Structure 1
Amino acid sequence: MIGGVETDETLDGGEEPGRRERNRQRTHLALVQAANRLFQEQGYDATTVRDIALAAGVGERTFFRYFRSKESLLVQQVRDLIPLLGSAIRNRPAAEPPLAALREAVLELATWHHTAPAMLLVGPQPLPPDLTSRGGRFLLFDLEQEVVDALQFRIAPADPTREQALRASVLGRAGVGALRAVRLTYTHLSPTEQATTDVLAMVRSAFQALGH
C-alpha cells in the first residue's frame, strides 16, 4: 500500500478476483483524478508521470501498469467522459433548449469531477502522438456523435424526421465547436493567466456567443 492507495504491487496471488478488480478500479480512478487536478493546476506540459503517480499515492511502476504514457491517460480520460456527457445531456430537464442542455451538462460534469473536464482544459499544442493516432483522431468524431445523438434524443426520441436529425447534427457540432474554442483559448493563455481563469465562465461565454 502506497500513500493509502492499495496497488497491484501489494496484491498477492491468493486474493479473490472481486477484491482485486475493485483495487484496480480504485487505483485507476486515483490516477485519473490526480492527473486531471495536476493538468489544471500546473498545466499539461509541466506535469510528469512521476507527479501523477505521487499525487495518486502510487509508484511510477504502478502508473505504467495502467497507462503507456501521460498522453494515453489523457486519451482515456476524454474517452471516459464522452458517454457521461451524453447521459447528462439526455437527463437534463425536457424544457431546456438543446444547446442549453449541452452547456449545463458540461457544467454538471465539472461539478462531478471537481474540476473542468479534461476535454476543455488540457492538451499541448501540437497534440502528442497518442492524440494524433488513429484512436486519438476519432475522439473528436466520437464526442460529436455522442452529443448529436443525445440532442436528437431530446428533439425527437423516436423516428426523427430528416429536418430534426439535421437540426440535432448542426446544434451538436456547433456546441462541440464552442467547447473546442474554450480549450484552444485556454491552452494559449500563459500559466499565470490559466491559474486565474474561470474556465466554466469561459464555457458560459462561449455558449452565449452561440446565442444560448
Structure 2
Amino acid sequence: MLGRWTIAGTAIAMLMIGTSPSHALVAGESKSVPTLSITIPPDPEDDGAEDPADAKKAAPAVRVAPDEPLPVIEYDVSKLPEPVKRLREKLLEAAKTGDINQLKPIIDANKSPPNLGADEDQDKDPIAFLKTLSGDPEGREILAILSEILDAGYVHVDIGTPQEAYIWPYFARYPIDALTPPQMVELFRILTSSDFDEMKSFGAYMFYRVGIAPDGTWTYFEAGD
C-alpha cells in the first residue's frame, strides 16, 4: 500500500551525525530498529565548532519538551513563500514522473546539494546515492516517499535563525506522544505501526523529512536521529 514504509528497509540506515540529547544515541552506540542496527561513528575531525553551512543543513530528530507550545501545523500551501511553494511543486512533479533523474536539474539549480544523509558519496552523484536508499533499483520507492512526505502537513520553524525552514512532515517537529487519533492516521500514511513503536522508545519521529529554506533552497531530504 502506497505510503506505508518500513524504516528498516530504507530510512534509518541513513543517519545524519548531529547533536543529540544525553539519552539519545551517542558515538559508537547501536539501536535496534526492526532489522537494522544504527551506529553513529565518532568524527575524528569534530572540534566542537559548528560550521554555519552544516547548521543550516542539520535536521536531527527533535524531541519536543512537554512544557513547550505545540508547533502550528499548516496544510494550506498557499501560505508558503513563493520560492518554497515553487520548489515543493517541482519536487512533487519530478517525484510523480517515476523517473528519479528528474530530480537532477532541481539539485543542480540548488545553491548546494541538499543533505541526503551521512554519506560523502551523496555530493559526488546525488541521484545514484538516492537510488541506494530505495528498495528498487530505479529509485521509485524513494520518489514515492518524497511525494508522500510533501503531501503531509508542514511546520515553519526556527524563525529568524540560520536554520529557519519549512519542514515536511510536521511530525519531525511534533511530540509523537501528543498525536491525536486523526493525526495518527496521517502518520500511518507514511510509516507502519511497528515503526511508530520504535520511535516511541526513542522519543521522536525518525523517518524521512524534507527541509526547505525561506529562499527556496532545498536543504535536506533525509531520515535518522
Which structure dedicates a bigger proportion of its chain to helix? 1
Task: Give TM-score, length-normalised by structure 2.
Answer: 0.25
Report 1 or 2 for greater relative contact order, CA contacts < 8 Å, sequence distance ≥ 6: 2
Q: State which structure, 1 or 2, has the greater radius of gyration over its C-alpha atoms.
A: 1
Specify which structure has the higher proportion of strand. 2
TM-score computed with the length of structure 1 as normaliser: 0.26
